[in-house]
Amino acid sequence: MSEQTRYRRERDSMGEFKVPSDAYYGANTMRAVLNFPISELRFSRSFIEAVANIKLAAAQTNMELGLLENNLGEAIIKAATEVAAGDFDDQFVVDIFQTGSGTSTNMNVNEVISNRAIEILGGEIGSKTPVHPNDHVNIGQSSNDVIPTAIHLAAVGAIKNSLVPSLEKLEKSLSKKAEEFMPVIKTGRTHLQDATPVRLGQEFLGHAGQIQRGIERSNHALKELAEVALGGTAVGTGVNTHPEFATKVCRRISRSLGVEIKETENHFQSQSTLDNVVESSGSMKTIAVSLMKIANDIRWMGSGPRGGFGEIELPEVQPGSSIMPGKVNPVIPESVCQVSAQVIGNDATVSIAGQSGNFEINVMMPVAAYNFLQSIELLARASENLADQCVDGLKATDKGPEMVDRGLAIVTTLVPHIGYDASADIAHKAQATGQTVLEIAIIETDLEESELREILNPESMTEPGVSGISVG
């Protein structure tokens, strides 16, 4: 195949440029591909879908406002619908590490939709006739308001449809285990050292509470992200856009997303900063920290099976070693911990990107979008996987209750009866001799054995009150 056949020549504002003959993108996109040969990272499917939906709603609105001919508008709507559905995903070829406004990707979408609309109307791809990527697809828009709006819309969709349902599933799984494990008494631990007894169900109740707070944080993020920059165009003034454009577009997108999307009341804030994204990314980081805590607790409690705590059994999902036969590792919690580490790192990137707003525009929107949206999806998948492949299959062992009676921290309930120092002395003697606290207390105190058994009853230590002293 000759070069003449493989490529077509297009003109843009900078002159003539070669573009692959079968490409739906154009010269602007091709320049960006050559300018930014940085990585293999590309915008996510959810982001491209969000931009396409903005273009779709924009075309509908511009037709309604009399700014776009119906035949052109209908072709743009059909093309944008196909792009939103993923039919042209291979045409979005611009690197994440591009112009900080995301203009290259906005034009990538404009060109793909324009050329597909031209094809629908029977024209020649690359001709910009009868559908122009700027003059028709981009009416009333700028990359400076489209890209931040797309970040918000993609995140809203991912949080609403993926993250929150996954967290709800995990919270339900943890709550179910909390109820199942509530009769099981085990050694509490602070500083990884023995502490007063706790119910295994109470620990899982704490885990469920962390995820419930994560759901609340996610829902708060939805409210933050529902406010969008569309309508501000280049610098927030709304130049070259109809006064009703953004409101009407937002109304259409709200119906398709099932979430009320509204134009910001302060375009100069909304376009020059990524504050909403930074705050929401912080919520994702907090959820990641919660997941890491839960996953590590499960790993610790399941450690062993003979040389560790061994208080719970984790589902055996795969062989754990290439050299040690029979070894089974906590691979699902380990996966969750790695996801958490990634999300925490992503938040650091988003934070740095967020402070890179200079005057009327932030110049690190693509990298903020990539990391923020990745965090949401990773958290959603990891949460669901933790529920399905780990939490639902957890089993309590007899080891936790067996360790309680030999624990030293149960001496705590003796303090109200004999004082701190005398109780500490009993604990030290029990540790030195290998005897239980009860056995030493029988010798060292004047209390009756029956009274001591009541005071040192582990079950009574798992709820408020003073063991051996009745209230009321």
- In one-letter notation, the amino acid at residue 142 is S
Counting Cα atoms < 13 Å in the Cβ hemisphere of 51 gives: 34
Active-site residue among 2, 191, 322, 470?
Answer: 191
Compute the distance between CA of residue 126 and CA of residue 22 in angstroms, rounded to an integer: 10
Cα distances from 217 to residues 175, 224, 257, 290, 344, in angstroms, run 19, 11, 20, 12, 16
First and final CA of the chain: distance in angstroms? 95
Is 136 one of the catalytic residues?
no
DSSP per residue, 410-464:
GGGGGHHHH-HHHHHHHHHHHHHH---HHHHHHHHSSS-HHHHHHHT-GGGGGSS
Is 460 one of the catalytic residues?
no
Dihedral (Cα; 255, 256, 258, 262), 10-degree rounding: -60
Active-site residue among 162, 175, 283, 321?
Answer: 321
Closest to 365 measured CA to CA, from 200, 94, 113, 147: 147
Compute the distance between CA of residue 382 and CA of residue 25 in angstroms, rounded to an integer: 35
- In one-letter notation, the amino acid at residue 353 is A
- In one-letter notation, the amino acid at residue 325 is P
Both structure tokens of 363: 């110049």
- Annotated catalytic residues are 191, 321
